[in-house]
Amino acid sequence: MDSNFIVDFRQVSIFQEDTPVLTEVTLQIEKGEFVYLIGKVGSGKTTLIKAIHAELVPLKGYAMSVGYDLRHLRMRDVAMLRRKMGVVFQDFQLLSDRSVYDNLSFVLKATGWKDRAQINEQIMNVLDKVELKRKAHKMPYQLSGGEQQRVTIARALLNNPQLIIADEPTGHLDPETSDDIINILLDINRQEGPSVIMATHNYALMKKYPARTIRCENNELCVLNNEVEIDFDGLLE
């Protein structure tokens, strides 16, 4: 199959227990691409993300994610697959009793980093990318919502991922802060090269920063190739 794709699904069906959620899905995301993922609650967005992240196993078709065949993935390879991805959550999921620095150090140590100097260098590197080096020793409660989300982006970058999955990263943020967050993600995508899948309901943001859009609807995916095909006014109603 084409090695230019970071995600390559062909005629894939994905189930939650015994219930089909997405059927006959065909989707290719290129290396270095930025895409939006939209759809109503229950439309299959979360299911698709879980399949890409190897939390759900597709039951038919060809399903590749960051170089791994998801239908024949060995348990010992799951951790390696996930190290090639970074996930940005809507609700941050930071450890409240640890500083920004210690939140990031915890992840590096959990994924096999041992050298203290290398850990420090990598933490400072990712914090620099999100403009938070000066707040490395702050506690999460001392940060604004936008700053906490920047920390989650830094955390997602720690292992130099090939793919970043941002699940409603602006869901709890005001418009100005949302602009800051998407600009950070776009800059990382352009400069560092990881593909980015951003699940969102923020259609105003999508209109301002257009990119290829994937819509989950009626157990299927519809790929909207450009902003001309997207009825933003209809989505905002």
> What tens digit of pLDDT does each residue of 104-114 get?
999 999 999 99
Q: Is the pLDDT of residue 155 over 60?
A: yes
Contacts of 176 (CB under 8 A, 6+ apart): none
Which pLDDT tens digit goes with each residue over 38-76? 988 878 888 899 999 999 888 889 999 999 999 999 988
Which pLDDT value is given to residue 226?
54
Average pLDDT taken over every residue of the chain: 89
Mean pLDDT of 91-102: 91
Mean pLDDT of 20-35: 91
If one compares 80 and 1, the residue with the highest pLDDT of the two is 80
Mean pLDDT of 144-171: 94
Which pLDDT value is given to residue 236?
45
Q: Is the pLDDT of residue 138 over 70?
A: yes
User: How crowded is residue 76: how many other Cβ atoms within 10 Å of its Cβ?
Assistant: 7
Phi, psi (rounded to 5 degrees) for 41: -60, 130
Q: What's the N-to-C CA distance of the chain in angstroms? A: 40
Nearest to 201 by CA among 179, 172, 168: 168
Report the C-alpha gap between 16 and 231 in whole angstroms: 30
Mean pLDDT of 95-106: 95
Which pLDDT value is given to residue 23?
87
Which pLDDT value is given to residue 3?
75
**Chain centroid to CA 224: how far?**
19
Which pLDDT value is given to residue 20?
82
Which pLDDT value is given to residue 64?
95
Which pLDDT value is given to residue 237?
41
Mean pLDDT of 175-196: 92
Which pLDDT value is given to residue 19?
83
Report the C-alpha gap between 5 and 24 in whole angstroms: 18
CA-based angle 69:70:71, to the nearest 5? Answer: 95
Mean pLDDT of 7-22: 88
Report the C-alpha gap between 4 and 193 in whole angstroms: 13
